[in-house]
Amino acid sequence: MNDAMDYSQPIAGKPQPLTLEQAAWITPPLHAVDTEGMIDVPRLRRYRQNRLRQQIIEQGLDAIILAEPLSIRYATGVRNCALFQMHTLAGYLFIPAEGPVTYFDSVPGRETGSQLETIDEVRGDILPLSYMFAGHRQQEWARNWGRQMNDLIHAHCGQGSKRIGIERTGFHAETALADLGHGLSDVAPVLAAARKIKSPEEILAMNLTVAVAENGMTRMRDKLRNGMMEQELWAHMWASLIEGGGEWLDYRLLASGERTNPWQQEASSRMIRAGDLVVFDCGMVGPFSYGADISRAYHCGPGRPTDEQRQLYTLAWTEVMANTQLMQAGASFAEIAANRHILPEGYGEQLYPCMAHGLGMADEWPAILHSPDHPEFFDGELEAGMVICVESYVGKVGGIEGVKLEDQVLVTEGGPVVLSRYPFEEALLLT
């Protein structure tokens, strides 16, 4: 069942594979219909699991154990109460470099998992690892869990000590598995290397989320009025997300007026007033669990934007436009940072924490910082198939307002393709 599939070859009775460039321009129907089955979901799942297995082998591991809901979703397609499981661990997944995939979860997850070709065995003997369910017996249950995993490792990876990539199972569980002689390492490098290159099906799924996000942007733009509260406006983005089949927003980054400087203040009960800038970052996990990370800024009427508001907006727009052109396959992070757009004096002292970052099922590796000389800078190289979000924040230190803009970009061999199509505000751009 888990034999590697040649992803590039047509499958009888299935939609024909697209190129990345073709997928970048297509927004498939949100609901499955019998005449437009554009997303081959089994192919999507198989591509992702094959990417993971490839990285398990390349990074010298014998198996990985996943516990984060989005990691399990990436590896298999299973979705089960993801937000709950982010703070209260329930399900977990065992994937050997070669051999059957074993999934442990509660009844809803087991029901979903049993229908998926990416999972060979669904088990109900799940052991409580979180303190909520284990209480003072947590260490006891962790030792039982260690033996459970040890049995799987020996059954599917061979006898003796093995190298296991592990994720978020907790101190006691990791200690129990290590005490049985296995070498443990952080699974994050495996996940990052697998996730970084998207298939055309992933781009189609991402375009659905972008479309849902842009619907939310349109609703907010249409409903924006003097006298409404920030959180009242932000509710329209949530409504679009839920109605469109999405999952959650990672944050509530919407601010108005003086709350736009400094950036990253979340939506509040502040009343939006005529003349305010309203700035937001959607940070959406939408249909198929794929991300949309797009930022825009509006001006609340009646009235016209001030010259300073237009200056802030134009500077941020110019930075996004210029830096987007740097997102070329083969470009190193150091090269990108060295050639980034430089804001004029007085406007570049409150830069966004990174100039660009990866996106898949929410934010992911890499984070490209503004300077190779930054103490936290790491280098790497863009590859075709990566999705990168290009960021800008412009606001004077001590200034009243600021502007945050961001576009979502697919890296292709032919150059960057912008996936976020929602227009910028002509009234805020200096001509």
Please tell me whether residues 122 and 159 are part of one structural domain: yes
Please tell me whether residues 375 and 314 are part of one structural domain: yes
Please tell me whether residues 315 and 370 are part of one structural domain: yes
CB 366 within 8 A of CB 358: yes
Is 9 a member of any domain? no
Is pLDDT above 50 for 420?
yes
Please tell me whether residues 139 and 162 are part of one structural domain: yes
From the list 95, 302, 317, 325, the residue with the least C-alpha distance to 191 is 95
Please tell me whether residues 209 and 172 are part of one structural domain: no
Please tell me whether residues 273 and 405 are part of one structural domain: yes
Is pLDDT above 80 for 13?
no
Q: Please state the rounded mean pLDDT for residues 162-181.
A: 96
Is 1 a member of any domain? no
* Domain range for 103: 40-195
Band of the pLDDT at 4, cuts 50, 70, 90?
Answer: very low
Is 125 a member of any domain? yes
Q: Alpha-carbon dihedral of residues 419, 421, 423, 429, nearest 10 degrees?
A: 20
Please tell me whether residues 405 and 312 are part of one structural domain: yes
Band of the pLDDT at 16, cuts 50, 70, 90?
Answer: low
Query: Rounded CA gap, 312 and 307, in Å?
Result: 9
Please tell me whether residues 420 and 273 are part of one structural domain: yes
Q: Which residue has the tokens 């090269």?
A: 335
Is 26 a member of any domain? no
Q: How much is the pLDDT for 85? A: 86
Task: Tell me the per-residue pLDDT of 308-356, one tens digit each, with 9 for 90 and over.
Answer: 999 999 999 999 999 999 999 999 999 999 999 999 999 999 999 999 9
Give the DSSP per-residue string, 239-307. HHHHHTT--EES--EEEEGGGGSSS-PPP-SPBP-TT-EEEEE--EE-GGG-EE--EEEEE-SSS---H
Q: Specify burial of residue 198 (Cβ count, 10 A radius: 0-12, 13-18, 19+).
A: buried
In 3-state terms, what secondary structure has residue 411? strand
Is 390 a member of any domain? yes
Task: Tell me the per-residue pLDDT of 242-260, one tens digit each, with 9 for 90 and over.
Answer: 999 999 999 999 999 999 9
Please tell me whether residues 188 and 206 are part of one structural domain: no
Is 374 a member of any domain? yes
Q: Please state the rounded mean pLDDT for residues 260-283.
A: 97
- How far is the CA of 321 from the CAs of 14, 317, 318, 340, 389, in angstroms? 38, 6, 5, 11, 12
Band of the pLDDT at 33, cuts 50, 70, 90?
Answer: low
Is 47 a member of any domain? yes
pTM for the model:
0.91
**Residue 77 DSSP label:** -
Is pLDDT above 90 for 62?
yes
Number of domains in the chain: 2
Q: How much is the pLDDT for 111? A: 84
Q: Please state the rounded mean pLDDT for residues 9-16.
A: 48
